[in-house]
């Protein structure tokens, strides 16, 4: 399993703790230190079965300042998240071809 993790985020830390308690083999990806490529983000969206807009953190300052109220295409949203990884919702847990956004963290139990 993989967790796309931001150690400064309390929900991400709670999700990581839940996965560790479940004793799963885990790869931790700190996506702010190691940003996703466009291809990786598209693959993640496919596993999540959601459009890009549902992965965007709309309360982030960069969203409000640069993107809010713009009619962005799917590719433009992906480009925005690649350029500004803080815009990506977290934590994201991947198990094979399935993934969930761990908000609320109880959703993580559906993928373990």
Which DSSP symbol is given to 6? -
* Dihedral sign from CA coordinates of 9, 12, 18, 19: negative
Active site residue 9: yes
Give the active site residue among 2, 8, 9, 108: 9
Q: Whole-angstrom distance between the N-terminal and C-terminal Cα of the chain?
A: 8
Distance (Å, rounded) from C-alpha 9 to C-alpha 23? 21
- Give the SS3 label for residue 26: coil
Indicate which residues carry an active-site annotation. Answer: 9
């Amino acid at each position: 399993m993989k967790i796309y993790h931001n150690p400064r985020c309390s929900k991400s830390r709670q999700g990581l703790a839940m996965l560790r308690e479940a004793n799963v083999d885990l790869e931790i990806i700190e996506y702010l230190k190691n940003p996703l490529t466009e291809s990786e983000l598209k693959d993640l969206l496919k596993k999540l079965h959601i459009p890009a807009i549902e992965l965007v953190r709309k309360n982030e300052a960069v969203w409000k300042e640069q993107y809010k109220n713009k009619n962005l295409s799917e590719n433009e949203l992906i480009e925005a998240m690649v350029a500004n990884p803080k815009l990506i919702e977290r934590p994201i847990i991947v198990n094979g071809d399935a993934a969930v956004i761990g908000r609320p963290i109880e959703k993580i139990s559906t993928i373990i």
